[in-house]
Amino acid sequence: MATSTPAAPTGGQPHPASAAPPGKGGAGGGSSQQSRRNIIHRFDLKGMPYGFIAPFFLIFGAFGLYPLLYTFWISLHRVELSTMHTREWRGLANFTELLKDDLFWNALTNTFTIGVISTVPQLLMALGLAHLLNYRLRGSVFFRVAALVPYATSIGAAALVFTMLFERDFGMVNWALGAVGIDGIDWSSEKWPAQFAISTIVIWRWTGYNALLYLASMQAIPRDLYEAAAIDGASRWQQFRTVTIPGISATIIFTIVLSTIGATQLFGEPLIFGQGPNGVSGGADNQYQTLGLLLYEEGWKNYQMGRASAIAWAMFLILILIFVLQRVIGRVTSRKS
Partner 1 sequence: MARHRFGTTLASATAAAVSLALVAGCSSGDDSDKATAKDGKTVITMGLFGVMGYKESGLLDQYMKDHPDIKIEAEVAGDEQTYYTALQTHLAAGSGLKDIQGIEIGRAKEVVDTQADKFIDLSKTEGVDHFLPWKLSQVTTKDGKVLGLGTDIGPMAICYRKDMFEQAGLPTDREEVAKLWAGDWSKYVEAGRTFKKNSKDKKLAFVDASSGLFNAMIYGDEKQFYDEDGKLIYQDNPVVQDAWNLAVSAAKDGLTAKLPQFQKGWDPGLAQSTFASTVCPAWMLGHISEKAGPANKGKWDVAQAPKGANWGGAFIGVTEQSKVKEEAQKLVSWLTAPEQQAFIFEKLGNLPSSKTALDLPAVTSAKSEYFSGAPIGQIFGAAAKEIPNKQVLGRKDAAIKDAFSQGLQLVDRGKDADEAWKTTDERIKKLTR
For residues 316 and 330, give the distance between their C-alpha atoms in angstroms, rounded to a whole number. 21
Cβ 206 to partner 1, closest distance in Å?
5
Q: Which of 84, 116, 148, 172 binds partner 1 (CB under 8 A)?
A: 84
Considering the rule CB under 8 A, would residue 205 count as an interface residue with partner 1? Answer: yes
Taking the complex as a whole, how short is the minimal distance between the CB of residue 7 and partner 1, in angstroms?
Answer: 42
Residue (186 or 232) nearer to partner 1, CB: 186
Say which residues have a Cβ less than 8 Å from residue 167's Cβ, sequence separation at least 6. Answer: 174, 187
108-127 positions binding partner 1, by CB under 8 A: 118-119, 122-123, 126
Any contact of residue 312 with partner 1 (CB under 8 A)? yes
For residue 80, the cross-strand partners are 83, 304
Given 154, 219, 235, 238, the residue binding partner 1 (CB under 8 A): 154
Whether the CB-CB separation of 287 and 270 falls below 8 Å is answered with: no
What DSSP line would sit under 1-62, residue for residue?
Answer: -GGGSPPPTT-S---SS--PPSSSS-SSS--HHHHHHHHHHHIIIIIHHHHHHHHHHHHHII
Position 302 contacts partner 1 (CB under 8 A): yes
User: At closest approach, how far in Å is the CB of 29 from partner 1?
Assistant: 54
Number of residues that bind partner 1 (CB under 8 A): 64
* Helix, strand or coil, per DSSP, at residue 290: coil
Q: CA dist 336 to 247, 257, 323, 330, 333, Å?
A: 20, 22, 20, 10, 5
Q: Should residue 170 be labelled a site residue for partner 1 when binding is judged by CB under 8 A?
A: yes
Residue number, 244 or 304, with CB nearest to partner 1:
304
What is the pattern of x (binds partner 1, CB under 8 A) and - over residues 242-281? -------------x--xx-xxx-xxxxx-x--xxxxx--x
Q: How many CA atoms lie within 13 A of 298 on its CB side?
A: 24
Instruction: Look at the alpha carbons of 128, 132, 134, 139 in this order and tell me if their dihedral is positive or negative.
Output: negative
Instruction: Find the helix or strand (DSSP H, E) in which 219 lies.
Output: none
Is 300 among the residues that bind partner 1 (CB under 8 A)?
A: yes
Is 32 one of the binding residues for partner 1 (CB under 8 A)? no
Residues near partner 1 (CB under 8 A) are: 63, 66-67, 70-71, 80-85, 103, 118-119, 122-123, 126, 154-156, 163, 167-170, 186, 188-190, 202, 205-206, 209-210, 213, 255, 258-259, 261-263, 265-269, 271, 274-278, 281, 284-285, 292, 295-296, 300-304, 312
